[in-house]
Structure 1
Amino acid sequence: MARYRFFTATSLDGFLADEHESLDWLLSQPTDPAQSILPYDDFIEEVGAVVSGRSTYDWVVGHLETVADAWVYDQPTFVFSHRELPEDFAGITRVAGPPAEHRARLEEAAGDKDVWIVGGGDLAHSFAEAGMLDEVFVSIAPVTLGSGKPLMGGRLELELREFGRNGALLQARFAVTGARG
């Protein structure tokens, strides 16, 4: 059965992106994947389907070298949005509504692998409220932003399972034990 995993990064004060939706503060951090408790390459091998919110999708598309570039993930990707997507990439499906309405479709796409909730604290929390978030893996950058996109869109009960570092980033793996609105 597929696990639902939120693999992300945050500022020390709990923001996924700054008020201008920039990740420059994160991308400038020194990293050492050999130190990581869960290297990205190992993580992505366990992912069979990707779930994204619209803001994350727009950010990724905006940072492709050209619109002709292929989508960044090989796995089937589901973008939760009530609006049509401006770009049409192979392997991307727009969906709308609560995550529970799409559970069977996501798990079928993932096969015997996991579902990665790639972006959006509100989206990740909506999965948690639906009982569809098993793990939060977060890399915490040594920077504060003061405002921006919050790490999580609501209260979660978590249990720390593992911690370590990747260069300047503190990493923590949590099991989700409960969600509240």
Structure 2
Amino acid sequence: MRRFAEKRLLVATHNAGKLAEMRALLAPYGVEAVGAAEAGLDEPAETEDSFVGNARIKARAAVTATGLPALADDSGICVDALDGAPGVHTADWAETGQGRDFSVAMARTWERLEAANAPQPRRAQFRCTLVLMWPDGHDEVFEGVLPGQVVWPPRGAEGHGYDPIFMPDGHQQTLAEMSAEQKNSLSHRALAVNRMIGACFA
């Protein structure tokens, strides 16, 4: 496992919510997280059928463009009764032609569960795969899984993506009803980041 000794890290995302989460999680270690938009990076095509494959595409593109070490994630919600969908296509389900609208994605997910007459509780997992890549091409991979269930109607105004319809196991609130601090303590991304920090930063 390689230690991270650099002071700047390119976080290969255009998602402001993900970048804010990552900044908060990495700040105690003196690492400056630079976002892909700040660096003027385009989003590469995600052509793999796995979270780790797509994360590697994003990390490699960021490293190549900036010369900085890069951290990329691919994450999504995997719904048991939908055979793991939307999975790697989580963001695609939010595409409207006028940009991404996750209210559309959440409604689509629930409609498919209803059409399948899926039994309650409607089990799902948020999954996050992180790839930390250095300019020499070396990378380390970390995963986090948050089990829970899909609920309806959407609840809460915090968070982003599918947070309003996901209730983690052991909780009576959706991720979107939790404070940022509470979510960051248990989210799939936090689990993956904490594993990375323990291995490469702490």
Structure ranking higher in helix proportion: 2
Larger gyration radius, structure 1 or structure 2: 2
Larger strand proportion of the pair: 1
